[in-house]
Chain A
Amino acid sequence: MTWVNTVVQGILLGGLFALFACGLSLLFGTMRVINLAHGDLAVVAAFLAVEVVPVTHLPAILSFLIVLPIFLALGYAGQRTLIQTALDRGAFTVLLVTFGVSVVIENLLLELYSANSHSINIGSLVSKSIHVNAQISVAYLSLGIFLVAVAVLVGLQYFLSRSSMGRQIRAVADDQEAAQLVGIDYRHVFGVAAAIAFATVALAGLAFGMYSSFAPTSGQGPLIYAFEAVVIGGLGSLWGTLVGGIILGVAQAVGAQIDPSLQILAGNLVFLAVIAFRPEGIFKGRVAA
């Protein structure tokens, strides 16, 4: 029964990884941008919530009402200025620019908040849980994060496959030049995709900040897990990202159950195994395939 509980906790943890990964997956799938500042942006969202809550007197759980719109705007503006300028100069420039942004964010946060740990205080909710039986208990927060992750991925998949903008995003991802020839302003489409990606990373950052404590340099871990989830699931496939996150979560939980020091190693081993034996990932696909 302990193992069943371990797997359940792993699946729920996988939801958080998938939430982290879907913005990364979307940016790579549409514009071949690998955003090395992804994890740091999540940490920025968490710090923003720490600032927003005392000022607005909103319950911490609703801080997304403020943080999400800010990140939507930040995503669109960031794409139309910095990322697009870098894209016009080639893929390697994008990598360097996002790496630079990552360094700048971490140092700014260190300057503002020092290296101390912070957390988003959600009160008693953090410790409440449902006891399924003597061995299995599910924390409200973990379950909530998992459900948000599933809702975001399903919603995003639906948006990409059904809406007119989703159609345009897939067309631009397929063939940027041909998309221009049918009248699509690909820079605007990239901006919208980046806005969505930033919004999902903000949600991931808020979830992360409620789930554990964080410091200015906490973004590196989630960046790695997000990469691993994307690669395990298959580049560009959103369903794959969800499954990849869950596989990674279960691997880490099982590793931790054997020995707490094995948690990260177990996840990395599964990732390496996928790279070695199925480099295209579990689900091979394009955006929304």
Chain B
Amino acid sequence: MTVFHAQLRALSSVSLAVGSGRVHAIIGANGAGKSTLLRSIAGLHRPAEGAVLLGGEDVTRRSPHARVDAGIALVPEGRRLFPSLTVEENILVGRRREAEGTWTAERVYDLFPWMRERRDQQTVQLSGGEQQAVAIGRALAANPRVLLLDELSLGLAPLVVRQIYGLIPELLHSGMAVLLVEQDVGQAVRTASTIQCLLEGRTTLEGRPEEFTPEQIEAAYFGLANPRATE
């Protein structure tokens, strides 16, 4: 897939596949094209070349809201909750076909028990970590087959980040595929079944995390020709 921001080539022939029950993590420095990749998959950018396939079906020409119906849900960077809606309204706003799928508001509250009591609060009254949980709940309520997570850890305390990442195995259990972008390389390596490193819109490393030494990942991250050069 190749994506342009106006004249700027944000992604050059980046390709990836993520299977059901797997976590694919995209790492890379600022401006590497990680968020652009996720936003293109969600339909917010149109790729100049390439395609987005979901279970073999081509969804490249579908609008973002139609891709949600097809099973792609993005938790956007910065959470982007609706400030004039309550916690529960945020979770339910996208759910128009109440009967479909297994993720109901109740099941989201089972995942985050504190939310049940605070469902009628405005989201501005919540802490950053709580807001992130609502954003995840909102995406889950769409019953996605692929969950896209953009920079979950941004601006959150390490303990909160660990708690949120601790939920991922439960999501995978239901057969969901998770594609995440993470600046915290350590967190990505701990969570992912595969990692992929982007640098200036190109893939510099891809594979199972245990295949690589920290030095190799660092080299791919910063674009160093020779990993030993940093030592």
Contact = CB atoms under 8 A, between A and B. Distances in A.
Contacts of B93: 167-168, 171, 179, 182, 184
B92 interface: yes
Interface stretch (A190-198, A221-229, A281-289): A281-289
Contacts of B83: 174, 286
B73 interface: yes
Contacts of B65: 180, 183-186
Contacts of B142: 182-183
A184 B81 CA distance: 14
Contact of A183 (B69, B80, B82): B69
Interface residues of B, number: 27
Interface string B51-75: 0000000000001111011000110
Contact of B80 (A175, A184, A186, A289): A175
Contacts of A288: 84
Given A167-B89, A181-B42, A182-B93, A173 B84 contact: yes
B76 interface: yes
Contacts of A175: 80, 82
Contact of B96 (A164, A170, A181): A164
Interface residues of A, number: 22
Interface in B121-144: 138-139, 141-142
Main secondary structure of the interface of A (DSSP, over half): helix
Interface in A157-177: 164, 167-168, 170-171, 173-175, 177
B76 A178 contact: yes
A78 B26 CA distance: 43
A154 B122 CA distance: 22
B80 A178 contact: yes
Contacts of A173: 84
A110 B117 CA distance: 61
B156 interface: no
Contact of B84 (A177, A178, A287): A287
B84 A182 contact: no
**Of listed B66, B81, B89, residue having the most chain A CB within 10 A:** B89
Interface of B: 42-44, 63-66, 68-69, 73-74, 76, 80-85, 89, 92-94, 96, 138-139, 141-142
Top 5 nearest A-B pairs (CB, nearest first) are A182-B94, A183-B68, A178-B80, A180-B64, A174-B82
6 contacts: A170-B84, A178-B81, A180-B43, A181-B139, A182-B73, A184-B93
